[in-house]
Structure 1
Amino acid sequence: MKKSNPVVIVGGGPSGTAAAAMLGKYQIPSVIIDETSKIGGVIYRGPLRNTATLPHLDDNLQRAMSALRTRYEKHKSFIELKLQTRVLGPEGDQHLLLSEGGGLTTLEHNELILATGCHERSVPFPGWQLPGVMLLGGVQLQIKSGLVKPGSKMALLGTGPLLPLVACQLHKAGVDVVGVYEASAFNKLAKEAVALLHKPKLTLNGLSMMSYLKKHQIPFRYGHGIVSAQGDTYLEQVSVAPYDDQWRPDISQAKPLDVDAIGVGYGFVARTQLAMLLGIEHDYSKVSGYIPKLDDNYQSSQKNTYVVGDSSGLLGADAAICEGQIAALNIVHQRGLLDSATMEKEKRKIERKHARIKRFRFGFDRFSARQTGLLDLPQDDTVVCRCEQATKKQLTDAIDEGVKDLTTLKMRTRIGMGDCQGKTCSSYALDLLHQAGHDKNTGVIKPRFPLDPIPFTFMEETLNEQV
Structure 2
Amino acid sequence: MSGHPVIVGGGSAGMAAAIELADAGVRCTLIDEASRPGGVVYRGPLRAGVDLGYLGARYSKALGKLHTDFAARAQSIDLRLNSRVVGGDDRSLVVLDEQEQLQPLAFEQLILAAGCHERNVPFPGWTLPGVILLGGLQLQIKSNVVKPLGTTLIAGTGPLLPLVACQLHAAGAKVAGVYEACAFNRIARQSLALMNKPQLFLDGLSMLAYLKLHGIPMHYGWGVVQARGEGELAEVSVAPYDDAWRADMTQVRRESVQTLAVGYGFIPRTQLSQQLGLAHGYSTDGYLRAECNVWQQSSLEHIHLAGDMAGIRGGEAAMLTGRIAAVSILQQRGVLNAAQAIERRERYLGQLAGIKRFRSGVERYTARGPAQVELPQADTVICRCEQVTRDAIDLALEQGVQDMAGLKMRTRVSMGDCQGRMCVGYCSDRLRAATGRADVGWLRPRFPVDPVPFSAFKHVGTEA
Instruction: Please give the range of the TM-score, normalised by the shorter of the 2 chains.
Output: over 0.9
In the alignment, which residue of structure 2 is the partner of 1:58?
A: 56
In the alignment, which residue of structure 1 is the partner of 2:97?
A: 100
The one-letter code of the counterpart of 1:99 is L
The one-letter code of the counterpart of 1:96 is L
In the alignment, which residue of structure 2 is the partner of 1:13?
A: 11
C-alpha displacement of 1:465: 6.9
In the alignment, which residue of structure 2 is the partner of 1:261?
A: 259
Superposed counterparts of 1:223-262, under 5 Å: 223-262=221-260
Deviations 1:260-318 (A, max 9, x none): 11100011111010000000110011347211121211111123001111112211111
The one-letter code of the counterpart of 1:420 is C
Contact map agreement 1:89 1:97 (CA 8 A) in 2: yes
In the alignment, which residue of structure 1 is the partner of 2:42?
A: 44
In the alignment, which residue of structure 1 is the partner of 2:168?
A: 170
Superposed counterparts of 1:306-455, under 5 Å: 306-455=304-453
Give the stretch that moved more between structures: 123-132 or 325-334: 325-334
Q: How many matched pairs? A: 463
CA distance, structure 1, for counterparts of residue 163 and residue 374 of structure 2: 28
Aligned Cα root-mean-square deviation (Å): 1.4
Contact map agreement 1:270 1:288 (CA 8 A) in 2: no
CA distance, structure 2, for counterparts of residue 74 and residue 21 of structure 1: 9
Deviations 1:318-371 (A, max 9, x none): 111111111110111111111211211111111111111000000010000011
* Secondary structure, aligned partner of 1:241: strand
In the alignment, which residue of structure 1 is the partner of 2:196?
A: 198
- Label 1:318 to 1:214 Cα distance change in 2 as closer, same or farther (>3 A): same
The one-letter code of the counterpart of 1:381 is D
* Secondary structure, aligned partner of 2:73: helix
User: Which runs of 5 or more structure 2 residues have no equivalent in the other structure?
Assistant: none
The one-letter code of the counterpart of 1:94 is R
The one-letter code of the counterpart of 1:197 is M
CA distance, structure 1, for counterparts of residue 225 and residue 314 of structure 2: 28
C-alpha displacement of 1:464: 9.3
C-alpha displacement of 1:49: 0.9
In the alignment, which residue of structure 2 is the partner of 1:270?
A: 268
CA distance, structure 1, for counterparts of residue 189 and residue 435 of structure 2: 29
C-alpha displacement of 1:440: 4.2
Contact map agreement 1:268 1:288 (CA 8 A) in 2: no
The one-letter code of the counterpart of 1:221 is H
Superposed counterparts of 1:210-221, under 5 Å: 210-221=208-219
Contact map agreement 1:184 1:223 (CA 8 A) in 2: yes
- Normalised by the size of structure 2, how large is the TM-score? 0.97
* Secondary structure, aligned partner of 2:236: strand
- Label 1:45 to 1:52 Cα distance change in 2 as closer, same or farther (>3 A): closer
C-alpha displacement of 1:233: 0.5
CA distance, structure 1, for counterparts of residue 456 and residue 335 of structure 2: 41
User: Which runs of 5 or more structure 1 residues have no equivalent in the other structure?
Assistant: none
CA distance, structure 1, for counterparts of residue 195 and residue 272 of structure 2: 36
CA distance, structure 2, for counterparts of residue 34 and residue 420 of structure 1: 19
CA distance, structure 2, for counterparts of residue 355 and residue 413 of structure 1: 43
CA distance, structure 1, for counterparts of residue 373 and residue 232 of structure 2: 24
C-alpha displacement of 1:81: 0.6
Contact map agreement 2:90 2:277 (CA 8 A) in 1: no
* Secondary structure, aligned partner of 1:56: helix
In the alignment, which residue of structure 1 is the partner of 2:155?
A: 157
C-alpha displacement of 1:137: 0.4
CA distance, structure 2, for counterparts of residue 361 and residue 466 of structure 1: 53
The one-letter code of the counterpart of 1:98 is V
Superposed counterparts of 1:78-157, under 5 Å: 78-90=76-88, 94-102=91-99, 103-157=101-155
CA distance, structure 1, for counterparts of residue 370 and residue 286 of structure 2: 16
- Label 1:93 to 1:356 Cα distance change in 2 as closer, same or farther (>3 A): closer
The one-letter code of the counterpart of 2:355 is I
In the alignment, which residue of structure 2 is the partner of 1:305?
A: 303
The one-letter code of the counterpart of 2:39 is G
CA distance, structure 2, for counterparts of residue 120 and residue 441 of structure 1: 22
C-alpha displacement of 1:373: 1.8
Contact map agreement 1:243 1:250 (CA 8 A) in 2: yes
Deviations 1:176-217 (A, max 9, x none): 100000000111111111101100001111111111111100
Deviations 1:24-69 (A, max 9, x none): 1110111110000111110111111123422431112112211211
CA distance, structure 2, for counterparts of residue 271 and residue 309 of structure 1: 11
CA distance, structure 2, for counterparts of residue 307 and residue 384 of structure 1: 30
Deviations 1:383-424 (A, max 9, x none): 000001111111122112211110111000100100000000
* Secondary structure, aligned partner of 1:436: helix
The one-letter code of the counterpart of 2:391 is K
Contact map agreement 2:81 2:98 (CA 8 A) in 1: no
Contact map agreement 1:196 1:360 (CA 8 A) in 2: yes
- Label 1:459 to 1:146 Cα distance change in 2 as closer, same or farther (>3 A): farther
